[in-house]
């Protein structure tokens, strides 16, 4: 996604005039989750600046440019969020980023997601699934859409084409619930969470899966950015669960 990320971190790529990160946080906020810890790296200063400047970015205001410098806000489009921004380093792998926020986790469990995925997953149902399972980790399982069209064959002949079908395989959709014990599965700050930690958790039968059959998409390419913007602009954004 060089067209976008050469100048800003991926979570700040715009969808409908707002960063992807804003859309993700609005999703969590809709389910009553207002406390966020952001593990920032590449161009993390831009994410810090976004939240420091969020109020005047999102509202109309009047400012006295003279001695007082008084600012009067004319609208109140404010988000009720508690945001902790942690600089986890530009080259740190995902396991290391999680390990570096351990001291900021003050509950027995927490939720985790990436900064480039949009979904309408029911976060209450995800939490309930995690509670029932008793496992350390619960992942959201989704069926991805193939990036390619496929051919249907019979006796060596093509009988039909299927454009970008939904695959039968299940992948980790990135919306997770974790107990604090997960930190014991991250051996160092030099590891990807998707590798050794998740593999060890699976080997110990400590991962449950919440199946999500609704909307889910990763935003990995510029075409993905154009696609989700088109959905938003025509009022057909399935991840917009808030009003």
**What are the pLDDT tens digits along the chain (243 aa)?**
777 778 899 999 999 999 999 999 999 999 999 999 999 998 999 999 999 999 998 899 999 998 888 999 999 988 999 999 999 999 999 999 999 999 999 999 999 999 999 999 999 999 999 999 999 999 999 998 777 777 888 888 888 877 776 667 899 999 999 999 999 999 988 899 999 999 999 999 999 999 999 999 999 999 999 999 999 999 999 999 998
How many CA atoms does the CB half-sphere of 23 hold within 13 Å? 28
Residue labelled with tokens 């960063």? 19
Alpha helices, DSSP H, located in 102-188: 123-133
Q: Which fold has domain 9-234?
A: Spore Coat Polysaccharide Biosynthesis Protein SpsA; Chain A (3.90.550)
Question: Of 224, 241, 235, 225, which Cα lies nearest the Cα of 123?
Answer: 241
What does pTM read for this prediction? 0.90
């Amino acid at each position: 996604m060089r067209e976008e990320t050469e100048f800003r971190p991926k979570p700040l790529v715009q969808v409908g005039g707002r960063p992807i990160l804003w859309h993700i946080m609005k999703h969590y906020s809709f389910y009553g989750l207002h406390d966020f810890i952001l593990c920032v790296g590449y161009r993390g200063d831009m994410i810090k600046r976004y939240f420091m400047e969020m109020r005047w970015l999102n509202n109309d205001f009047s400012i006295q440019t003279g001695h007082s410098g008084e600012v009067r806000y004319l609208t109140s489009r404010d988000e009720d969020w508690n945001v902790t921004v942690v600089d986890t380093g530009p080259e740190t792998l995902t396991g290391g980023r999680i390990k570096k926020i351990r001291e900021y986790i003050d509950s027995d469990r927490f939720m985790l997601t990436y900064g480039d995925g949009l979904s309408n997953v029911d976060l209450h149902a995800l939490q309930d699934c995690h509670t029932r399972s008793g496992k350390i980790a619960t992942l959201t399982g989704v069926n991805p859409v193939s990036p390619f069209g496929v051919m249907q064959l019979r006796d060596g002949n093509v009988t039909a084409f299927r454009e970008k079908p939904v695959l039968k395989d299940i992948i980790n959709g990135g919306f997770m619930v974790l107990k604090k014990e997960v930190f014991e599965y991250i051996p160092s700050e030099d590891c990807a969470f998707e590798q050794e930690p998740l593999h060890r958790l699976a080997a110990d039968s400590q991962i449950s899966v919440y199946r999500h059959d609704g909307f889910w998409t990763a935003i990995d390419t510029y075409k993905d950015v154009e696609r989700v913007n088109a959905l938003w602009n025509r009022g057909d954004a399935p991840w917009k669960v808030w009003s």
